[in-house]
A and B are shown apart, each in its own frame.
Chain A
Amino acid sequence: MKALLVCEYREGKLLDSTYELQAFAGQLGADSAMVLIGSEAQAPKFNGKVYLADAGKYGEYNPDQHKKLVLEAVAKENPDYIVFSHSSYGWDLAPRVAAALKTGQISEIVAIVDGKFEVTCCNAKMRRAVTPKTARTVLTIQAGAFSFTGEPHGSPQLEKLELADSASNVEFIGYEAAEQRDVDLTRAEVIVSAGRGIGKKDNVPVIAALAKALGGELGASRPVVDAGWIEHSHQVGTTGQTVSPKLYVACGISGAIQHLAGMKKADFIVAINKDRDAPIGEVADVLVVADVMQFVPAFTAKCAK
Chain B
Amino acid sequence: MEATREIYWNVGHGVILPMYLFTAIAFAVCAYGFYKRVEVYRLGKELNRLDNLSGRIILLLKNLFGQFKVLRVRGPGVPHALFFWGFVLLFIGTLLIMAQADFSDPLFHIRFLTGHFYKLYSLILDLAGFIALVMLFGLTLRRFLVRPEGLKITRDDYLMHIIITAIIITGFFAEGVRIAATELRNNPELARFSPIGLFVANQFAGLDDQSLRQMHKLWWWVHFILVMGFIVTIPWSKFRHLFTTPANYLFADQREKGTIATINLEEEGVEHFGVDKIQDLSWKDIFDADACTSCKRCQDRCPAWNTDKPLSPMKVVQQIGEAAFTNPQANLIETVSQDVLWSCTTCRACQEICPADIEHVNKIVDMRRNLVLMQGEFPGEEVMVAVNNIEVNGNPFGLAYAGRGDWTEGLDVQQMSDGATVDILYFVGCYASFDKRNQEVARSFIKICNAAGVRVGILGKEEKCCGEPLRKLGNEYLYQMTAQENIEQIKASDIKKIVTTCPHCLNTLGRDYKDLGLDIDVEHYTVFLDRLINNGSLSIEAHQFDYTYHDSCYLGRYKDIIQQPRNVLHAAGGRINEMDKTGYDSFCCGAGGGRILAEEKIGTKISEARVRMATETGAPLLISNCPFCLTMFEDGIKTGGAEGEIIVKDLAEIVAERITVQN
Judged by CB atoms under 8 Å, the answer to whether A and B touch is yes
Residues of A whose CB lies within 8 Å of any CB of B are 200-202, 227-228, 274, 291, 294, 297
Q: Are A227's CB and B381's CB within 8 A?
A: yes
Main SS of chain B's interface residues?
helix
**B residues 627-653 with Cβ under 8 Å of A?**
638-639
Collect the chain B residues with CB atoms within 8 Å of residue A227's CB: 381-382, 385
Across the interface, name the chain B residue whose C-beta is closest to A206. B638
Q: Are A200's CB and B436's CB within 8 A?
A: no
Q: How far is the CA of A262 from the CA of B436 in the complex (A)?
A: 31
Across the interface, name the chain B residue whose C-beta is closest to A294. B436
- Is B515's CB within 8 Å of the partner chain A? no
Q: A291-B436, A294-B436 are in contact. Are A200 and B599 (CB under 8 A)?
A: yes
Residues of B whose CB lies within 8 Å of any CB of A are 381-382, 385, 436, 599, 638-639
Q: How far is the CA of A157 from the CA of B174 in the complex (A)?
A: 122
Q: How far is the CA of A200 from the CA of B397 in the complex (A)?
A: 11
A-B CB proximity, top 5 nearest: A291-B436, A200-B599, A201-B599, A202-B599, A200-B382
Collect the chain B residues with CB atoms within 8 Å of residue A294's CB: 436
Q: How far is the CA of A85 from the CA of B465 in the complex (A)?
A: 44
Main SS of chain A's interface residues?
loop
Q: How far is the CA of A201 from the CA of B385 in the complex (A)?
A: 14
Collect the chain A residues with CB atoms within 8 Å of residue B385's CB: 227
Across the interface, name the chain B residue whose C-beta is closest to A228. B381
Across the interface, name the chain B residue whose C-beta is closest to A291. B436
Collect the chain B residues with CB atoms within 8 Å of residue A291's CB: 436
Collect the chain B residues with CB atoms within 8 Å of residue A201's CB: 382, 599
Collect the chain B residues with CB atoms within 8 Å of residue A202's CB: 599, 639
Shortest Cβ gap from B533 to chain A (Å): 33
Collect the chain A residues with CB atoms within 8 Å of residue B436's CB: 274, 291, 294
Collect the chain A residues with CB atoms within 8 Å of residue B382's CB: 200-201, 227
Shortest Cβ gap from A299 to chain B (Å): 15
Excluding A200-B599, A227-B385, 12 further A-B contacts by CB distance (< 8 Å) are A200-B382, A201-B382, A201-B599, A202-B599, A202-B639, A227-B381, A227-B382, A228-B381, A274-B436, A291-B436, A294-B436, A297-B638
Shortest Cβ gap from B224 to chain A (Å): 66
Across the interface, name the chain A residue whose C-beta is closest to B397. A199
Shortest Cβ gap from B599 to chain A (Å): 6
Q: How far is the CA of A202 from the CA of B599 in the complex (A)?
A: 8
Shortest Cβ gap from A172 to chain B (Å): 34
Shortest Cβ gap from A297 to chain B (Å): 8
Collect the chain B residues with CB atoms within 8 Å of residue A228's CB: 381
Collect the chain B residues with CB atoms within 8 Å of residue A274's CB: 436
Q: How far is the CA of A228 from the CA of B639 in the complex (A)?
A: 21
Shortest Cβ gap from A70 to chain B (Å): 41
Across the interface, name the chain B residue whose C-beta is closest to A205. B639
Q: How far is the CA of A276 from the CA of B310 in the complex (A)?
A: 44
Collect the chain A residues with CB atoms within 8 Å of residue B638's CB: 297
Shortest Cβ gap from B403 to chain A (Å): 10
Q: How far is the CA of A297 from the CA of B382 in the complex (A)?
A: 23
Q: How far is the CA of A228 from the CA of B381 in the complex (A)?
A: 10
Across the interface, name the chain B residue whose C-beta is closest to A229. B382
Chain B CB within 10 Å, residue with most, of A202, A294, A297: A202
Shortest Cβ gap from A108 to chain B (Å): 24
14 contacts between A and B (CB under 8 A): A200-B382, A200-B599, A201-B382, A201-B599, A202-B599, A202-B639, A227-B381, A227-B382, A227-B385, A228-B381, A274-B436, A291-B436, A294-B436, A297-B638
Q: How far is the CA of A166 from the CA of B385 in the complex (A)?
A: 47
Q: How far is the CA of A202 from the CA of B635 in the complex (A)?
A: 11
Collect the chain B residues with CB atoms within 8 Å of residue A297's CB: 638
Across the interface, name the chain B residue whose C-beta is closest to A202. B599
Q: How far is the CA of A217 from the CA of B385 in the complex (A)?
A: 28
Q: How far is the CA of A297 from the CA of B385 in the complex (A)?
A: 26
Q: How far is the CA of A201 from the CA of B639 in the complex (A)?
A: 14
Shortest Cβ gap from A280 to chain B (Å): 17
Shortest Cβ gap from A118 to chain B (Å): 25
Q: How far is the CA of A291 from the CA of B436 in the complex (A)?
A: 8
Shortest Cβ gap from A298 to chain B (Å): 12
Q: How far is the CA of A291 from the CA of B634 in the complex (A)?
A: 14
Shortest Cβ gap from A250 to chain B (Å): 19
Across the interface, name the chain A residue whose C-beta is closest to B435. A291
Shortest Cβ gap from A93 to chain B (Å): 34
Across the interface, name the chain A residue whose C-beta is closest to B598. A200
Across the interface, name the chain B residue whose C-beta is closest to A226. B381
Across the interface, name the chain A residue whose C-beta is closest to B436. A291
Shortest Cβ gap from B192 to chain A (Å): 73
Collect the chain A residues with CB atoms within 8 Å of residue B599's CB: 200-202
Shortest Cβ gap from B600 to chain A (Å): 8
Q: How far is the CA of A128 from the CA of B382 in the complex (A)?
A: 34
Across the interface, name the chain B residue whose C-beta is closest to A223. B385
Q: How far is the CA of A227 from the CA of B381 in the complex (A)?
A: 8
Q: How far is the CA of A202 from the CA of B607 in the complex (A)?
A: 14
Shortest Cβ gap from B322 to chain A (Å): 36
Across the interface, name the chain A residue whose C-beta is closest to B398. A196
Shortest Cβ gap from B463 to chain A (Å): 21
Collect the chain B residues with CB atoms within 8 Å of residue A200's CB: 382, 599
Shortest Cβ gap from B160 to chain A (Å): 47
Shortest Cβ gap from B371 to chain A (Å): 21
Collect the chain A residues with CB atoms within 8 Å of residue B639's CB: 202
Q: How far is the CA of A227 from the CA of B384 in the complex (A)?
A: 12
Across the interface, name the chain B residue whose C-beta is closest to A201. B599
Across the interface, name the chain A residue whose C-beta is closest to B601. A201
Q: How far is the CA of A227 from the CA of B638 in the complex (A)?
A: 24
Q: How far is the CA of A228 from the CA of B385 in the complex (A)?
A: 13
Q: How far is the CA of A202 from the CA of B638 in the complex (A)?
A: 12
Across the interface, name the chain B residue whose C-beta is closest to A290. B436
Q: How far is the CA of A294 from the CA of B635 in the complex (A)?
A: 11
Across the interface, name the chain A residue whose C-beta is closest to B381. A227
Q: How far is the CA of A83 from the CA of B381 in the complex (A)?
A: 41
Q: How far is the CA of A228 from the CA of B601 in the complex (A)?
A: 14
Q: How far is the CA of A200 from the CA of B382 in the complex (A)?
A: 8
Shortest Cβ gap from B233 to chain A (Å): 52
Shortest Cβ gap from B194 to chain A (Å): 69
Q: How far is the CA of A119 from the CA of B385 in the complex (A)?
A: 30
Q: How far is the CA of A291 from the CA of B397 in the complex (A)?
A: 14
Q: How far is the CA of A202 from the CA of B640 in the complex (A)?
A: 13
Shortest Cβ gap from A304 to chain B (Å): 15
Shortest Cβ gap from A170 to chain B (Å): 33
Shortest Cβ gap from A278 to chain B (Å): 13
Q: How far is the CA of A294 from the CA of B638 in the complex (A)?
A: 11
Shortest Cβ gap from A269 to chain B (Å): 24
Shortest Cβ gap from B389 to chain A (Å): 12
Q: How far is the CA of A202 from the CA of B381 in the complex (A)?
A: 14
Q: How far is the CA of A291 from the CA of B440 in the complex (A)?
A: 14
Chain A CB within 10 Å, residue with most, of B381, B382, B385, B638: B382
Shortest Cβ gap from B396 to chain A (Å): 11
Q: How far is the CA of A200 from the CA of B595 in the complex (A)?
A: 14
Q: How far is the CA of A291 from the CA of B382 in the complex (A)?
A: 20
Q: How far is the CA of A228 from the CA of B638 in the complex (A)?
A: 23
Across the interface, name the chain B residue whose C-beta is closest to A297. B638
Shortest Cβ gap from A123 to chain B (Å): 12
Across the interface, name the chain A residue whose C-beta is closest to B605. A202
Q: How far is the CA of A27 from the CA of B382 in the complex (A)?
A: 45
Across the interface, name the chain B residue whose C-beta is closest to A275. B399
Shortest Cβ gap from B655 to chain A (Å): 24
